[in-house]
Chain A
Amino acid sequence: MPAATPASPAVPTARSRTGSERAAASQYGDLDHRAPGPTSRSSGLRSFVHALPFLTPSLFGVVVFLLIPVVLVVVISFLNWNEINPATWAGFTNYINIFRFDQAAHSLGITAYYVLLNIPLQTVVALSMAVALHRGRRGSGLYRVLFVAPYLSTPVAMAVIWYWVFDPQLGAVNTALAHIGIHGPDWLSSSQWALPVVALVNIWQYVGYNMLFFLAGLQAVPKELYEAADLDGANKFQQFFRISFPLLNSTLLFVLVTGVIGSFQVFDTLYVLTQGGPGNSTEVLNLQIYQLAFTDFKMGEAAAMSVLLLGVILIFSIGQFMFFRNRTTYEYSV
């Protein structure tokens, strides 16, 4: 689905498994060995040729459109290249320049601030909605559908709509505020408000999606635990904080990490709502990359910025991967 929520292989197993099953199928190594393996070199070659018609298209796609580009972006980041003159070797100049002139540090800071505005609130709301809906009261299904709808809505189209909703004169927000006697700010042209508004739009778009993960996580908590807690006289709050919440740990981490990674990649909404402005108050990394490459034609610097973004995201991805690798084995061993 949209790039903002990259699908990671490192997802927690929500289904509780037995210990032996878990040991047998560590989530990442459980490749299918049922099919007989190649015995000799010639049969190995034959089986490879046999697999080629199936494998070639996607292998071609992944190599040409994913792997080669990753290598290329690193190469370009060491070149002086502006699309007009022939490229020359630049060493680390681009990396120095992005911090010196293009405010890479500023962009990183803005992105971090955006994550901070975005993720805690989104997670708390998503979890609360999941807790409210997971008991399956009549109508829960409809609410769930309504909460998820924004996730599939074209971000560009929604951004156009939000631009209007937050318009200082015509917008519904300021018109409503005026009714209760408040003079609303120029939301998107205020360096103080622009980023919070973008974060709010993003929360609106993704909170229902994240709720689904918490719902799946809650569904996996064994019902007997609640029954036992009921017998012991634990109230609903105690049950949530002592039972549900600890068991949602890995779901929570998954939602947090994918949320952070997604936040680092926000583009569509910002492109329409602020274009990085006012000033450079909403200039996140992704937007800088775009502007450096396609308005300033500084390909080398844009590539260096991309490598920086890749590095930051890899740290989170690898962290998540390691966590779940060590984690899935012990999960739900209550």
Chain B
Amino acid sequence: MSISSLAVGAAGSRTGAARSRATATKVARVGKLVMFYVIMTAIAFVFMVPYLLTLFAAFKPISQIFSQPAWYPPHSLYLHNFVYDFSSAGFARYLANTFFVTAALTVGQVFFSILGAFAFARLSFPGRDLIFWLFLITLMVPSAVTVIPLYTIMKEAHLLNTYWAIFLPYVFGTPYTIFLLRQFFRHIPQEMIDAARVDGASDMRVLFRIIVPLSRPAIITATLIALVFGWNNFLWPLIVTESQNHYLLTTGLANFQSNMNSQWNYALAGSVITLVPLAILFIVFQKHIIRSISITQIR
């Protein structure tokens, strides 16, 4: 405003005023744009600060963590924290366990969900709609509620303190993933399936040769959901495993943190070990993840 009135005063003439008004809107627009970037960058900075500080700390010896503020970068590429975590704090085992359990959970969950979704989307049998409703209703049940009975089931089945206990409840497909895949499978043109059937293809063949290849985006989404869930899962593995041999990164890290006596360097390096694989996954699939979050929930 003040710039434009100044300009008007200096130029005086009509054309000058018009030109200055144009500059004024331009200035206002640039100002808005600058404000947008300043604010957004500030927020983004707040979002990234915890990661940045942790990365710094993971490469510092404990003495530097105690003597300098967290935002001082490490003096050198000090790797001892990671070496210690992997060799003496059990993180090698936790990492391997987490990889194994997450892989088993993901493969089973996606495969069985594909089968179930196909039945609901493309087959017709008595009670189908009723069973599907039953599945949808279970979506409302929070996981915390089933923890106690599930624990007793696992105990009676003598599965406590096994890898089985950690992934068994999630490996047969989840109602949500089935729901998600079913929505996708339903939109595959019937003609393509009819054509395959005319050629004598069985249901399995139709599913895995036609529907699955055409549903790649939905299946990738289902896979990512399972991977992230398996990797981050905490309460359930905490309950069903007692020995360090079966700890995952989450349970191992929480256990380490509660016994650590201010060994922040090791705990924070442990957090980095836990977060890095997910970070890689996120960077590789960021577009897909962001798109699928908004598409799968709000359709």
Q: Which A residues are closer than 8 A to B by beta carbons?
A: 1-3, 6-9, 11-15, 31-32, 34-38, 44-45, 47-48, 50-51, 53-55, 57-62, 64-70, 72-73, 76, 129, 132-133, 137, 139, 143-150, 152-158, 160-165, 170-172, 175-176, 204, 208-209, 212-213, 215-217, 251, 254, 261, 264-265, 267-268, 271-272, 285-286, 289-290, 293-294, 299, 302-303, 306-307, 309-310, 313-314, 317-318
Given contact pairs A143-B40, A271-B254, A170 touches B65 in the complex (Cβ within 8 A): yes
* In contact, B271 and A160 (Cβ under 8 angstroms): yes
Q: Which B residues are closer than 8 A to A by beta carbons?
A: 33, 36-37, 39-40, 43-44, 47-51, 53-54, 57, 65-66, 69-71, 112-113, 115-116, 118-119, 121-129, 131-132, 134-136, 138-153, 168-176, 178-179, 186, 190, 203-204, 207, 225, 228-229, 231-232, 234-235, 238-239, 249-250, 253-254, 257, 264, 267-268, 270-271, 274-275, 278-279, 281-282, 286, 289-290, 293-299
**Hey, which chain B residues are within 8 Å of A133, CB to CB?**
40
Which of B122, B134, B172, B225 is packed against the most chain A CB atoms within 10 Å? B172
* In contact, B115 and A54 (Cβ under 8 angstroms): yes
Question: Whole-angstrom distance between the alpha carbons of A163 and B51 in the complex?
Answer: 13
Pick from A154, A204, A261: contact of B275, CB below 8 A.
Answer: A154
Question: Whole-angstrom distance between the alpha carbons of A160 and B275 in the complex?
Answer: 12
**Hey, which chain B residues are within 8 Å of A7, CB to CB?**
139, 176, 179, 296-297
Question: Whole-angstrom distance between the alpha carbons of A313 and B65 in the complex?
Answer: 43
**Hey, which chain A residues are within 8 Å of B112, CB to CB?**
57-58, 61
**Hey, which chain A residues are within 8 Å of B295, CB to CB?**
216
Question: Whole-angstrom distance between the alpha carbons of A175 and B33 in the complex?
Answer: 33
Could you list some 30 contacts between A and B, CB below 8 A? A3-B143, A7-B297, A31-B129, A32-B121, A38-B125, A47-B123, A47-B126, A53-B204, A54-B207, A55-B125, A55-B131, A58-B116, A58-B135, A65-B168, A66-B141, A69-B153, A73-B149, A137-B36, A146-B47, A148-B290, A156-B253, A158-B50, A264-B142, A268-B235, A271-B238, A272-B257, A290-B235, A306-B148, A313-B145, A314-B140
* In contact, B124 and A251 (Cβ under 8 angstroms): no
The 7 A-B pairs at the shortest CB distance, nearest first, are namely A61-B172, A58-B116, A72-B149, A58-B173, A69-B149, A54-B119, A69-B146
Looking at the assembled complex, report how far the CB atom of A41 sits from the nearest CB atom of chain B, in whole angstroms: 9
**Hey, which chain B residues are within 8 Å of A139, CB to CB?**
37, 40
Pick from B71, B232, B270: contact of A172, CB below 8 A.
Answer: B71
* In contact, A171 and B143 (Cβ under 8 angstroms): no
Given contact pairs A149-B47, A149-B282, A265-B143, A48 touches B297 in the complex (Cβ within 8 A): no
**Hey, which chain A residues are within 8 Å of B168, CB to CB?**
65
Question: Whole-angstrom distance between the alpha carbons of A6 and B229 in the complex?
Answer: 12
**Hey, which chain B residues are within 8 Å of A2, CB to CB?**
228-229, 232
Beyond A146-B44, A212-B290, list 5 extra A-B contacts (CB 8 Å): A47-B124, A48-B126, A66-B138, A171-B70, A267-B144
Pick from B119, B249, B278, B297: contact of A11, CB below 8 A.
Answer: B297
Looking at the assembled complex, report how far the CB atom of B131 sits from the nearest CB atom of chain A, in whole angstroms: 7
CB nearest to B281 among chain A residues: A152
Question: Whole-angstrom distance between the alpha carbons of A317 and B138 in the complex?
Answer: 11
Question: Whole-angstrom distance between the alpha carbons of A209 and B250 in the complex?
Answer: 22
Pick from B150, B235, B293: contact of A148, CB below 8 A.
Answer: B293
Question: Whole-angstrom distance between the alpha carbons of A70 and B47 in the complex?
Answer: 38
* In contact, B172 and A65 (Cβ under 8 angstroms): yes
* In contact, A299 and B267 (Cβ under 8 angstroms): no
* In contact, A154 and B231 (Cβ under 8 angstroms): yes
Given contact pairs A164-B57, A175-B69, A289-B144, A48 touches B125 in the complex (Cβ within 8 A): yes
**Hey, which chain A residues are within 8 Å of B138, CB to CB?**
62, 66-67, 70
* In contact, B293 and A212 (Cβ under 8 angstroms): yes
Question: Whole-angstrom distance between the alpha carbons of A316 and B110 in the complex?
Answer: 29
* In contact, A57 and B116 (Cβ under 8 angstroms): yes
Question: Whole-angstrom distance between the alpha carbons of A209 and B70 in the complex?
Answer: 28
Which of A32, A37, A213, A317 is packed against the most chain B CB atoms within 10 Å? A32
**Hey, which chain A residues are within 8 Å of B234, CB to CB?**
155-156, 267-268, 271
Looking at the assembled complex, report how far the CB atom of B244 sits from the nearest CB atom of chain A, in whole angstroms: 16
**Hey, which chain A residues are within 8 Å of B127, CB to CB?**
48
Looking at the assembled complex, report how far the CB atom of B290 sits from the nearest CB atom of chain A, in whole angstroms: 6
Pick from A44, A212, A309: contact of B142, CB below 8 A.
Answer: A309
Pick from B115, B190, B264: contact of A34, CB below 8 A.
Answer: B190
Pick from A132, A147, A153: contact of B36, CB below 8 A.
Answer: A132
Looking at the assembled complex, report how far the CB atom of A145 sits from the nearest CB atom of chain B, in whole angstroms: 5
Pick from B33, B144, B239: contact of A3, CB below 8 A.
Answer: B144
* In contact, A3 and B142 (Cβ under 8 angstroms): yes
Pick from A1, A36, A44, A286: contact of B228, CB below 8 A.
Answer: A1
* In contact, B123 and A31 (Cβ under 8 angstroms): no
Pick from A148, A176, A314: contact of B289, CB below 8 A.
Answer: A148
**Hey, which chain B residues are within 8 Å of A155, CB to CB?**
232, 234
* In contact, A162 and B134 (Cβ under 8 angstroms): no
Looking at the assembled complex, report how far the CB atom of B285 sits from the nearest CB atom of chain A, in whole angstroms: 10
* In contact, A294 and B239 (Cβ under 8 angstroms): yes
Pick from B148, B232, B297: contact of A302, CB below 8 A.
Answer: B148
